[in-house]
A = this chain, B = another copy of it.
Amino acid sequence: MSKQSAPGNGLKIRRLGIDTGHDFVIYMRRDCHVCRSEGFTAHTRIEVDSGDRKITAVLNIVNHGLLLQGEAGLSERAWTKLGVSEGHVVTVRYAKPLDSLSQVRAKIYGKRIDPDGFLDVLGDVVSGRYSDIHLSSFITACAAQALDTNEVSALTAAMIETGDQVSWPNSPIADKHCVGGLPGNRTTPIVVSIAAACGLTIPKTSSRAITSPAGTADTMETLAPVNLSAAAMRRVVEREGGCIVWGGAVDLSPADDILIRVERALDLDSEGQLVASVLSKKIAAGSSHVVIDIPVGETAKIRSAAAAASLARIMTEVAHRFDLKLAVTTSDGSQPVGRGIGPALEARDVLAVLQGKDSAPADLRAHALTLAGSLLELCGTAAEGAGEDMAAQTLASGQAWAKFQAICEAQGGMRVPPVADHRKPVLATRSGRVSALDNRKIARAARLAGAPVSKAAGLEMHIRLGDTVEAGQPLFTLHASASGELNYALDYIGTHQPVIVIEP
């Protein structure tokens, strides 16, 4: 028997092989002596203590068969997080009252949360003490009672402090980020390759999709491993000057990853959370110079120049408090960038640009060069006004493509993006001119087709704004790994017309 503070509440732990997703679940028998003496009921939040680690889990009560007397079961994620072996004895008790919830309630009623308050909340979030109900209330309150600059700074600091932090021996440390919302806008692998080829240090960490069909990490994962530890990421950067990895795997701002799951379920992404999410990842990653891309369009995440200006203002103010140099650029968000939407389909566009193919999407290429140029200037590598030319030469010469391949190899080996088994073109029902595209509906269709969970899924655009089409001509092709998902996306498109507006 392992060390026990309260042997009366000891239970032998068993792995039941039940995957409950992100939830930590503990299973106990209804007639378990601990359950009865402590007064636990189904859905009680329980602290499980292995002696070395503690987790907070939700109780599910088992009637018969699954467990012996004196045993408790754990769900897969709880098992992994607690890190024990079969038969280890754990102690269980009521989870302590969530005192930090008073911060959330105060916020709901319009009060400000101070830096200690955010630290309390995010500390509880990271330690798994917030249930979905609590997380969702925090996210919703921070959206409904917009965070001011002090609060966004405090939230950013708390996100940094409750996670790992990376520091680098050299300077500048370059980085870029796109505020997202525009399907297919996958410039990062191109910008990182150009910047690193020009001698900059650019340790890029990216997130997975929030509400979009693909995040940079999802796309990059079809080309190379992205779940690198902090140490592995450092080795890649030392060797190649740059990397493109998933931020969550190195535990930078882990609170952000937990909150993002809830934002995704709500399809909600507030300004304050957005700024804190972006900047906390950059600062924790040790970045000093960052280019921010804000696509603006009626159906992009940021819908107006005014909204972009507001976001740029608060982001610049908060960055300044952390001594982070920022260059914010806005771009055309009226239609998807490139052709592919979904991890593997976007990866193919990225490869075409890097390889200098004639078929490469011109808009993706141009947009990547603008951002790379801005970064080269911000970091002082190129003179003002000369950044974009330097970027274009680095791409044309093949140096960027060589650098990208080297980075992929350093991250664990280059991969070939998967191809979907199920495809279906969606045809124009009339002839005319393409006058509008709904980015949100296109993104939704790509998600329903299975992206980003299914890497090969998504859609491939065949037209752009202003194109003339004939009735019966394919507008885009849906890609899916399962027929159920393909039909689901088709149903959605059928019932949510118009996705693409064609005027006679």
Contacts and interface: CB of A to CB of B under 8 A. Distances in A.
Interface residues of A, number: 70
A484 interface: yes
Instruction: Please indicate which of the listed interface residues A20, A36, A137 has the most CB atoms of chain B within 10 Å of its own CB.
Output: A137
A137 B136 contact: yes
B133 A453 contact: no
Nearest to A75: B60
A19 B143 contact: no
A93 B140 contact: no
Given A62-B18, A94-B488, A266-B137, A41 B453 contact: yes
Interface stretch (A101-109, A186-194, A367-375, A469-477): A101-109
Main secondary structure of the interface of A (DSSP, over half): mixed
A37 B483 contact: yes
Given A30-B19, A42-B20, A132-B133, A108 B484 contact: no
Nearest to A58: B21
A401 interface: no
Given A20-B43, A140-B137, A492-B97, A266 B38 contact: no
25 contacts: A17-B65, A18-B60, A18-B63, A19-B60, A19-B61, A20-B42, A20-B43, A20-B60, A21-B41, A37-B482, A38-B485, A39-B480, A39-B482, A41-B453, A60-B75, A105-B268, A133-B133, A134-B136, A134-B266, A136-B136, A136-B137, A137-B140, A140-B141, A140-B144, A144-B144
Interface of A: 9, 16-23, 27, 30, 36-39, 41-43, 58-66, 75-76, 93-94, 97, 101, 104-105, 107-110, 131-137, 139-141, 143-145, 262, 265-268, 444, 448, 450, 453-454, 480-485, 488, 492
- Nearest 3 CB-CB pairs, A to B? A21-B43, A17-B63, A144-B144
